[in-house]
Chains A and B, each alone.
Chain A
Amino acid sequence: MSDNTITTSEAPPADESAVSTGALAAVRRWAVVRIRKSFRELGLFAALAALWVYFGLKSEYFFTTDNIFNILLQASNVAIIAAGLTVVIIAAEIDLSIGALQALAGSVAAVVIIRYEVPVAIGIPIALGCVVLAGAISGFLTWKVKIVSFISTLAMLGIAQGAALLLTNGHSVYGFPESYRKIGTSNVYGVPTPAIIALVVFVALHLLLTRTTFGLKIYATGGNAEAAAFAGIKVGRVKLIALMISGLTAGIGGLIVSSRLDAGNGLFGAGDLLGAVAAVVIGGTSLFGGVGSVVGTAIGVVIITTINNGLVLLAVQDFWQQIVIGCIIIVAMMLDQLVKSARLPGFLR
């Protein structure tokens, strides 16, 4: 469109970052953009570093390899379901069923593999398929029946929880084969396998959100569903797929829990919802949709697990952990408000 240039007498007032030229300015511009975009993540890293220094000084055991792998192992489960939840929340929906879906996936796996002696390689896809289907049902209700996801996934929480308890008759179904137990208990060069699975899930979802057109559709849908629809994005379908993704991650989480505990139980993993929501929120993903990242969520999970772990090492009574995490959510939200109310130097906004 070279000859179509319209020469207006003056361009609108240029903003500082758009006009600078030269190599140095380019580097500066790049740095400003990076910092501006990752400001929230940088703050989280700082908070995490502060926690590590504090616990490291307080407890000799904190920085041992054993303990670090222990933190990773503890974190991986909630991390995986929180990653899927992040995708849903960016699309301006919520999935309250993820804890129950974990329990359901573990129970289905246990019943199918242990009771019906189905091979592990077939039992796993069956278990995952069930929870992805559950996510799809929630998504379908949200899309076509216009039941908000807060309600449709709340209903799914009850259904999945009840189904899991029914399948297992309210007991634990024990005795997975060796190959299944390995998912949660083995390690690769000392790194627990669940932590590696979590890493793979995070990298995959991070690339999906930041590199693919579908990821952009998720942000667009959460940012302004009406404008997205005007642009031809099928927002209902986007939300459906987001809920299927969180179903899948909940399923993976459920397999890991049941493998580590060597049993399927209608209650295993059912209580992880709050931890996951906390991690997502601490990680800077907005509950209003359109804003957030799985990187933030990963840091949020590590922060929560670090605090839990550190408090245990310092022999603080268990019950304090939940109070501390509740307080941290409040502080994180207050910091968010501060960032939004724009008390930052201009170049960061």
Chain B
Amino acid sequence: MSAVSAAAARQMRTAPVLEVRNVAKAYGAVQALQDVSLELYAGEVLGLVGDNGAGKTTLVKCVAGILRPDAGEIHVNGELQQDLTAEAARRLGIEVVHQNLSLIDTLDVTQNFFLNREIVHRGSVARRMGWMNKRLMYRQARETLDSLGLTLDPQRLAAFLSGGQRQMVAVARAITWGRHIVIMDEPAAALGVRQALQVLAFIRLLSSRGVAVIFISHNMQHVLQVTDRIVVLRHGENVGDLVTAKASAQEIVTLITGSNLSVNGGDASD
């Protein structure tokens, strides 16, 4: 991904879309995040890497309003977000593709695609009652999926989708509704090679629209391919913030593991 466009975006809009300042979060005695800070600019693709348990998912949940940090601040579009809820984060244009937990099995593709964002009929009474315009919802879901090159029956139950199809529905939802920030937590883990490449293409598409993307992956190749910048977490701390174009896989793996292992050695590459 072009570091140029991100640099341009940084100049155009000096304020970052997302600013995480000194965030800490503990689960009981386990300190999942401590004093983590990072910035994210419009149109930028940020790779968030780290070993299992490094705090990536916890950080994502804090930004998405699912977890409340014990300390620190989260600024979105320059505004401090206190008591950020999942609903508020959505309204701010933040979308997340959660690892494993994206779809509701008992709902169909369209219901999952809209989930808590259903189209209601016009008129104040209909809106007050939440009277859904189902016909329009199914049509829009089909059109959106088609435009993304995904051939899926919008009425199919999520339970009957393959792992890859489920993931693609979740990704389609995020890229459709994420106006400012899209966070993808291991979006390609369940995917085949072709669909994984498709996800990377979607990330570039979002970036070209000026949407900032946080991309979490264990696949170093994907990270180096698609990101502008990489933040490395280890034991809940931000241990590295590198420009992708200048970083090497060796360097990143060293930061992730905290020791100087060879990339080609069996230990480091998983």
Contacts and interface: CB of A to CB of B under 8 A. Distances in A.
Interface of A: 1-2, 4-12, 14-15, 17-19, 33, 211-214, 216-217, 219-220, 222-224, 226-234, 289-291, 349
Given A8-B198, A10-B194, A212-B132, A2 B105 contact: no
Given A15-B153, A213-B118, A222 B106 contact: yes
Interface stretch (B15-23, B40-48, B83-91): B83-91
Given A19-B151, A228-B104, A232-B89, 10 more contacts: A1-B176, A8-B201, A12-B165, A12-B168, A214-B130, A219-B111, A230-B96, A231-B115, A233-B116, A234-B87
> Which of A219, A222, A231, A349 is the most central at the interface, judged by chain B CB atoms within 10 Å of its CB?
A231
Contacts of B194: 8-10
Interface string B184-205: 0000000000110110011001
B149 A227 contact: no
A4 B151 contact: no
B247 interface: no
Contacts of B164: 12
Contacts of B136: none
B260 interface: no
A18 B108 CA distance: 14
B118 A232 contact: no
Contacts, number: 120
A1 B147 contact: yes
> Which of A14, A220, A222 is the most central at the interface, judged by chain B CB atoms within 10 Å of its CB?
A220
Nearest to A19: B151
A217 B116 CA distance: 7
Given A4-B147, A4-B205, A230-B101, A216 B132 contact: yes
Given A4-B205, A8-B198, A219 B106 contact: yes
A226 B100 CA distance: 11
B113 to A, nearest CB: 11
B254 interface: no
Contacts of B205: 4, 6
B156 interface: yes
Contact of A216 (B111, B151, B160): B111
Contacts of B87: 232, 234
Nearest to A90: B106
Nearest to B119: A213
B269 interface: no
B195 A224 contact: no
A71 B63 CA distance: 57
B132 A211 contact: yes
14 contacts: A4-B148, A6-B205, A7-B149, A12-B195, A211-B132, A219-B111, A220-B116, A228-B104, A228-B115, A231-B86, A234-B87, A290-B104, A290-B106, A349-B160
Given A220-B104, A223-B107, A18 B152 contact: yes
Given A212-B132, A217-B116, A290-B104, A14 B198 contact: no
A32 B106 CA distance: 18
A14 B205 CA distance: 24
A33 B155 contact: yes
B71 interface: no
B222 interface: no
B103 A227 contact: yes
B102 interface: yes
Contacts of B148: 4-6
B131 A220 contact: no
B243 to A, nearest CB: 27
Give me the 5 closest cross-chain CB pairs, A-B, nearest first: A290-B106, A213-B130, A223-B106, A232-B87, A223-B104
A121 B102 CA distance: 49
Interface string B74-89: 0000000000011101
A339 B147 CA distance: 35
B105 A224 contact: yes
Contacts of A8: 149, 194, 197-198, 201
Contacts of A223: 104-107
Contacts of A226: 101
A75 B120 CA distance: 35
A213 B132 contact: yes
B100 to A, nearest CB: 10
Interface string B27-47: 000000000000000000000
B106 A291 contact: yes
A2 B147 CA distance: 7
Interface in B198-244: 198, 201-202, 205, 209
B212 to A, nearest CB: 17
